[in-house]
């Protein structure tokens, strides 16, 4: 049963990406996939559709390593909540999510770029357990 739910969630997430998903759909799909399938598949799938993924590969690999190191120390996530969404420019959006872990909250900050074809692509993904730093300027 659980395996079919994981496969179903992954198929829904890939379908969302295939139909030019919004930044919110992409981010929430990533967080679900991360919980269900692990770091490498989630990070690779999150950035794979991005035209800039090949340029950003060193950062993507660094993010995978950081997540593999940090997430096991936090315990199992019990969900996530959207903190805020910013439209920084017509073609740049920032999303912030709270990852709910037993030991401490984790702040996810993701930037999305809207290319000339009108599709939103993940451009950057950061994490922080330092709430003061991560939430500085959030009202």
pTM of the model: 0.79
Measure the CA–CA gap between 60 and 74, rounded to whole angstroms.
21
HSE of 90 in the Cβ direction (CA atoms, 13 Å)?
Answer: 3
pLDDT per residue as tens digits for the range 102-137: 989 999 999 999 998 899 999 889 999 988 877 776
Tell me the per-residue pLDDT of 38-78, one tens digit each, with 9 for 90 and over.
999 999 889 886 776 666 778 888 889 999 999 999 999 99
């Amino acid at each position: 049963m659980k395996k079919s739910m994981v496969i179903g969630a992954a198929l829904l997430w890939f379908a969302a990406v295939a139909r030019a998903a919004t930044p919110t759909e992409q981010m929430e799909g990533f967080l679900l996939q991360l919980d269900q399938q692990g770091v490498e598949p989630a990070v690779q799938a999150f950035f794979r559709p991005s035209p800039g993924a090949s340029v950003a590969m060193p950062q993507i690999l660094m993010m995978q390593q950081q997540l593999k190191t940090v997430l096991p120390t936090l315990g199992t996530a019990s969900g996530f909540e959207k903190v805020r969404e910013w439209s920084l420019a017509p073609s740049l959006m920032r999303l912030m999510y709270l990852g709910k872990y037993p030991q401490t909250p984790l702040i996810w900050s993701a930037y999305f770029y809207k290319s000339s074809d009108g599709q939103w692509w993940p451009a950057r993904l950061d994490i922080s357990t330092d709430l003061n730093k991560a939430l500085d300027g959030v009202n």
